[in-house]
Amino acid sequence: MSEIHRIKCGNGNCYIVENGTSGILVDTGKKEFVDKVIEACRFYNVQFIVLTHGHFDHTDNVAQISDTLGIPIGMNEKDCNLIQTNTNQFLFATSLLGKVVLAASLREFAVRTMPEFKPDVLLHDGDSLSDYGIDARIIALPGHTDGSIGVDVDHKHLIVGDALMNMFYPTVSMLFHNKEEMLRSAGKISSIGNRIIYFGHGKPVPNRQWA
């Protein structure tokens, strides 16, 4: 059975999924936390990086971690246009808190320059991660971005990136590129049933009815 290790990177999270012999890294945090993340990866023999989506707070360190550890990068091809600039998929918000978070995010998008990288593996809905020693599969969760994905581990844990958020309270994503798809993905997560949900922002909680 796999264990999930949450690595707090400021107000965001990345995760190591490991089973005692090998592991994967899900998201990479902002550049300020690269040394912390690399050290954790070495401790758990991380073999692969999964990016839940292309926003810089999840991908900022991916090029350096991949080069340092000599491991491949996987993401969904629909988010590859975010590598050049995070403004290639415009974001929206409807709630007051969401608009505050959106304004802060757009300010960072304008000044952050993310090191370029090219994914080695294009991940799709249903793909298995068993080649990297982990009993997990990819689940498509579009809406926050076109290529947002999650990682379903051992039918017990679900890492959702920003398809859901727990910045202030557990909720559907406060920021979205496509609201209808975001709500469908939230419903998809609910329908999966008994899981612990691991967010890109905030503490994990049990699965529930999200939308």
Decide if pLDDT at 113 tops 90. Answer: no
Residues 6+ apart with CB under 8 A from 148: 52, 53, 76, 79, 140, 141, 142, 161, 162, 163, 185
Q: How confident is the model over 65-86, as pLDDT tens digits?
A: 999 999 999 999 999 999 999 9
Structural domains present in the chain:
3-113+124-205 (3.60.15.10)
CB atoms < 10 A from the CB of 205, how many? 14
Q: How confident is the model over 43-54, as pLDDT tens digits?
A: 999 999 999 999
What are the CA-CA distances from residue 92 to residues 56, 136, 171, 177, 208 (Å)?
17, 31, 16, 6, 24
Q: How confident is the model over 146-205, as pLDDT tens digits?
A: 999 999 999 999 999 999 999 999 999 999 999 999 999 999 999 999 999 999 999 999
Model pTM score = 0.97
